[in-house]
Amino acid sequence: MAKATPRMSPRVQKVSDQLQRELAVLIQLEVNDPRVGMVSVTGVKLSRDLAYADVYVTVMGSVDGDAGLAPGVLFKETGALDKLEIEESIKALNSAAGYLRTLLAKRMALRITPRLTFHYDESVARGQYLSSLIDRALAADSEHES
């Protein structure tokens, strides 16, 4: 019998949502590292004791979808340059994690401010890829019907 995943408590969910909003603002306003471009915080996963937070981000501008590609070329995955840009942004955010944690402690009324670890969220790129596949399939379908 499969073990059900434990549901997040309402308090953990509330703190997670607030952390996501605060981090989105703080990253844009306070992180001055040139390696961090347009970053969007897509989610925060907190430990039960609120001591650790995994922060998921996407790096805007690194995934352009089909822009700039020749007609008929599918967007399969982020290019090598984009991967390097993403890795540098994540490294920069992880090196700024202590500073961001200090700012969070001042802005949020928490007994313990969680330690932050940043991760790249591939769901946006994967969604764009799947969307391009669907668009291509629909276009091929309409060509065969006419």
- 70-108 pLDDT, tens digit each: 333 334 455 665 888 889 999 999 999 999 999 999 999
Q: Which distant-in-sequence residues (6+ apart) come within 8 Å of 93 by Cβ?
A: 27, 31, 36, 39, 55, 57, 100, 118
Q: Domain spanning 10-145 has what CATH number?
A: 3.30.300.20
pLDDT at 1: 52
Distance CA 82, CA 76 (A): 13
C-alpha span between 65 and 40 (Å, rounded): 17
Strands across the sheet containing 115-120: 38-46, 52-60, 115-120
pLDDT at 101: 95
pTM: 0.73
pLDDT surpasses 90 at 27: yes
